[in-house]
Homo-oligomer: A and B are copies of this chain.
Amino acid sequence: MKHKGKATSFDIAHYAGVSQSTVSRALRNSPLVNEETRRKVHEMAAKLNYKVDKNASNLRTQQSSTLALLLFEDPTTDESQINPFFLSMLGSITRACSKEGYDLLVSFQSSSQDWRADYEDSHRADGIILLGYGDYLDYQSRLQQLLDQDTKFVCWGAKVDGREDLSVSCDNYGGGQLAAKYLIEHKRTDCAFIGDASEHSPEFFARYEGFKNTFEQHNITLSERKIANAISTEDSGYHATKSLIANNISFNALFAASDLIAIGAIRALQEAGILVPNDVRVVGFDNIPAASYVSPSLTTIEQNTTLAGQMLVSNLLNLIKGEKVECTLLPPNLIVRNT
Interface residues, chain A, with chain B CB atoms under 8 Å away: 6, 49, 51-56, 58-59, 64, 66, 79-82, 84, 87-88, 90-92, 94-95, 98, 103-108, 118, 121-124, 149, 234, 263, 267, 270, 289-290, 292-295, 305-306
Q: Which residues in B have their C-beta under 8 angstroms from that of A267? A: 293, 295
Provide the bound-state CA to CA distance between A234 and B291, in Å.
12
25 contacts between A and B (CB under 8 A): A49-B149, A53-B59, A53-B122, A55-B55, A55-B123, A56-B59, A59-B59, A79-B95, A80-B91, A80-B92, A81-B289, A82-B87, A84-B87, A87-B87, A87-B90, A94-B107, A98-B107, A98-B108, A105-B106, A234-B292, A234-B293, A290-B290, A290-B294, A293-B293, A294-B294
- Picked from B52, B80, B104, B124, the residue with its CB within 8 Å of the CB of A54 is B124
B residues within 8 A CB of A149? 49
Cα A218 to Cα B53 with chains together (Å): 59
Tell me the minimal C-beta distance from A62 to chain B in angstroms: 8
- Return A320 CB to nearest CB of chain B, in Å: 15
Q: Which among B84, B88, B91, B107 is the interface contact of A104 at CB below 8 angstroms?
A: B107
